[in-house]
């Protein structure tokens, strides 16, 4: 089962991606088509690079990824906040909606330590973001009955 790690072009993010490839036997985005149920997608970037998630979604849409039941973790500071968003969607919500699956993301700064022995520790205010939980999806799902009674 190929877990996948994707990182921005930042040197620190690339270093963490290499750690995931070495210790978690992750593949890169070119191996999406091999993902199976239970696999994991790790997205590693800085919040200033992720912004509102639109550029990442455009980038990831170029690859052939299966609609299997894989998990997604954003190792991105403030991915579940409006800090770098230009609209009503947080980056975590945009990515959850795009993949149509829950995303684990932090609303605060993410710090981490990854070691040569394969252990890693990440801290942040992580929570699960479900697709469709954003304000835009909720407004689109409102059923307003405008019939006069």
pLDDT digits (tens), the chain, 149 positions = 589 999 999 999 999 999 999 998 999 988 888 899 999 999 999 999 998 899 999 998 888 878 789 999 999 999 999 888 778 899 999 999 999 999 999 999 999 999 999 999 999 999 999 999 988 888 888 876 655 55
Burial class of residue 145, CB neighbours in 10 A (0-12, 13-18, 19+): exposed
Rounded Cα gap, residues 107 and 139, in angstroms: 23
For residue 3, the tally of other CB atoms under 10 A from its CB is: 19
Say if residues 65 and 36 touch (Cβ distance below 8 Å).
no
pTM value is: 0.88
Residue ranges covered by each domain of the chain: 4-140
């Amino acid at each position: 089962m190929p877990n996948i790690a994707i990182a921005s072009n930042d040197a620190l993010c690339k270093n963490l991606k290499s750690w995931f490839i070495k210790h978690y036997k992750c593949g890169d985005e070119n191996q999406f088509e091999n993902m199976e149920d239970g696999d994991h997608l790790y997205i590693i970037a800085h919040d200033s690079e992720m912004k509102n998630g639109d550029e990442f979604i455009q980038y990831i849409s170029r690859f052939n990824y299966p609609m299997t039941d894989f998990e997604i973790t954003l190792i991105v500071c403030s991915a579940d906040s409006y800090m770098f968003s230009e609209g009503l969607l947080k980056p975590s919500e945009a990515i959850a909606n795009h993949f149509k699956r829950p995303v684990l993301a932090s609303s605060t700064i993410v710090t981490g330590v990854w070691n040569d022995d394969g252990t890693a520790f990440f801290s942040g205010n992580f929570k699960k973001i479900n697709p469709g939980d954003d304000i835009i999806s909720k407004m689109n799902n409102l059923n307003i009955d405008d019939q006069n009674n």
